[in-house]
Chain A
């Protein structure tokens, strides 16, 4: 999350919106957003409705959901999908910014 915040202006420059979805409740999101001054949209999904819709993997051995990233273009089509296999398995911002650069301009 810190790396996303660090490069947030580069996402803004490309007109992109970052939406973070997690299973925590609204209070946990609010605390975390305040403590870390995050500029993104934060969606609590305690019923796991969107998490399931997108097939976020549950790793029972590690007792939790693995990270995933999806880039959706302006037409609503998924152009990049990464399902992590561990909490550290997150693509670099540069990889996501490259995908954004390859999308049709507005």
Chain B
């Protein structure tokens, strides 16, 4: 299982949010820091 290493570029990804709007991590570059939260149990 790959793991992200600290102080290395975070892997880019794009996924539609639950409203259908495409979200790409790299779109936030230069704009805002991101807190990625991986979770489960949203039902």
Distance between B19 CB and nearest chain A CB, rounded to angstroms? 8
Interface residue SS majority, chain A:
mixed
> How many of chain B's residues have a CB under 8 angstroms from any CB in A?
38
The docked-state distance in angstroms from the alpha carbon of A56 to that of B16 is 19
Binding site for B on A (CB under 8 A): 1, 4, 11, 14-24, 26-33, 40-45, 49-58, 64-65, 67-81, 83, 87, 96, 100, 103, 106
Q: Measured between C-beta atoms, what is the minimum distance from B15 to chain A in Å? A: 5
In whole angstroms, how far apart are the Cα atoms of A73 and B34 in the complex?
A: 7
Q: Choose among B4, B34, B38 the residue with the greatest number of A CB atoms under 10 Å from its CB.
A: B38
Smallest Cβ-Cβ distance to B42: which chain A residue: A32
Min distance, Cβ B17 to any Cβ of chain A, angstroms: 6
Q: Check if A83 sits within 8 Å of B43, measured CB to CB.
A: no
